[in-house]
Amino acid sequence: MTKEEARALVNRQQEILDGAKAMNRDLTPSEQVEFDALQREIDTFIAETEEEYRVDTITSICRDFNLDPAGYISSGASTDEVRASILDKLKIERKSPKVTITNYETDKFRDAAVDALLLRGGIDIQEPAPGAKELQGMRLTGLATECLIRRGIYSPQRLDDDVLLREALSPDSQFASIMSSAANKAMAVTYRAARTTYQRWTGRGSNSDFKGATHYQISEAGDLVRVSQGGEFEFDEIRDQGVRKSVATFGRSWGLTRQAIINDDLGALTKLPAAYAGAAARGINRLVYMQLGSNPVIYDGVQLFNAAHANIAPAGGIINIANVGAGRAAMKRQTNLRGLETLNIKPKYLIVPASLETDTQRFILKAYYPTTQGAINPLASALEPVVDAELDPYSLTAWYLAADPQEVDTIEVTYLNEKDVPTIENEPSFDYLGVKWRIYIDYGVTVLDYRGLYMNAGI
């Protein structure tokens, strides 16, 4: 039956209905018999048409994947069932009869692909893995296809982008591993290269959990006293002081959408991890300098820089021999917990805001005192300058002295289980089509002791 013949049957049915409606009555028995007979012919035509469409569609699908459609057609499977069955077949890993891909070759390909993505994303790699430059021109979808081929997936290039990415982004896939490694490497490169200065003069510690830990300061031993003949030894009581230190989690999340992968947008894969890594480093740096600039109340209930701590200049002054010398002397005169031991702390760092950078360099690097002809500068190169603009919002004139953290406790950056770099994790997103990423780092900043720090408010 042709479409025109089927249309004529439908028109005849409409004539029967219109005639009964015009006379305001139901169909007569003979009209009902004719109507039903017409409907049976129409249903037969629709069924034949649907079957023809099913057969044609299944044949086309199987042709794309070089499969025999006969079994699918004879089984009566729907087109959706055939598509699902073919995808299941594609998931079955089959080793190529021509090439055996070893773990070593897999690792080499992954390393090359990771560095290729970083190079394309503008991340500087000193020594790219062998093969990276050859893969540098490959799009993300092309890389996903190559990964599926190496897994043994049959003809993944025939898949549409949505199916391809769904297969390639499974958690255990090589493509997902490559993207994760690229993001982590971009993060690590940027994190280590961040322009932070706190590492130079602060201590580094570790907590095993988030509950917090106590750092104990042990007092000095008492002087030995003369014991008379037959006399008793005088008992000495050692004191200690505890400082609580803890860590917290700092993090962010972002997404790599399906559209970004298809459009070959590497920003979310390389530039965003790098940007968040830089933000993580800046966060630690900012928190450290907040301890100096804001002069907080510390473990003993007194502000960090306070006359009670003997670590602040009584009057502000510029960076010169007299004022820096006064600071050095004050640090050397610091005593231990019981006041029995003079600590003789030697400052190693001169810490200043960006506003004092030039004055600091002029003072430290000049062999002669700049205001007196021929006078030797005894502090030339005696202190290491540390310049950080995080201090400028607090004061443009204040400067600080700090001891070597290997010799004296000052400010400590504490990490969870010694992990001092951020962690990046990813997983397929259920909120949108793509991959969801998150970066986090666990740390805390604590003033352990005031004795190794000195402040001059400047003028």
Residue 436 has pLDDT above 70, yes or no: yes
Average the pLDDT over 122-126 and give the result.
83
Per-residue model confidence (pLDDT) at position 165 = 81
CA distance 56 to 71: 14
| pLDDT tens-digit series, residues 208-227 | 988 878 776 665 566 677 77
Judge whether 261 and 162 are in contact, CB under 8 Å.
Answer: no
Per-residue model confidence (pLDDT) at position 100 = 41
Per-residue model confidence (pLDDT) at position 236 = 61
| pLDDT tens-digit series, residues 379-405 | 777 899 999 999 999 999 999 999 999
- Tokens matching residue 164: 């391809």
Residue at token pair 């280590």? 192
Per-residue model confidence (pLDDT) at position 93 = 42
CA distance 347 to 334: 12
Per-residue model confidence (pLDDT) at position 62 = 78
Its pTM stands at 0.67
- Sign (positive/negative) of CA torsion 42, 47, 48, 54? positive
Q: What is the mean pLDDT of the chain?
A: 85
Best mean pLDDT range from 88-97, 341-350, 391-400: 391-400
- Tokens matching residue 269: 């894969």
Number of H helices, E strands in the chain: 14, 11
Per-residue model confidence (pLDDT) at position 154 = 64
- The conformation of residue 150, written as its DSSP 8-state character, comes to H
Domain borders along the chain are 3-94, 105-202, 240-456
Phi-psi region of 185 (alpha: psi -120 to 50; beta: other; left: phi over 0): alpha
Per-residue model confidence (pLDDT) at position 17 = 86
* CATH entry, 240-456, from 3.40.50.970, 3.90.1690.10, 3.40.50.300, 3.30.43.10: 3.90.1690.10
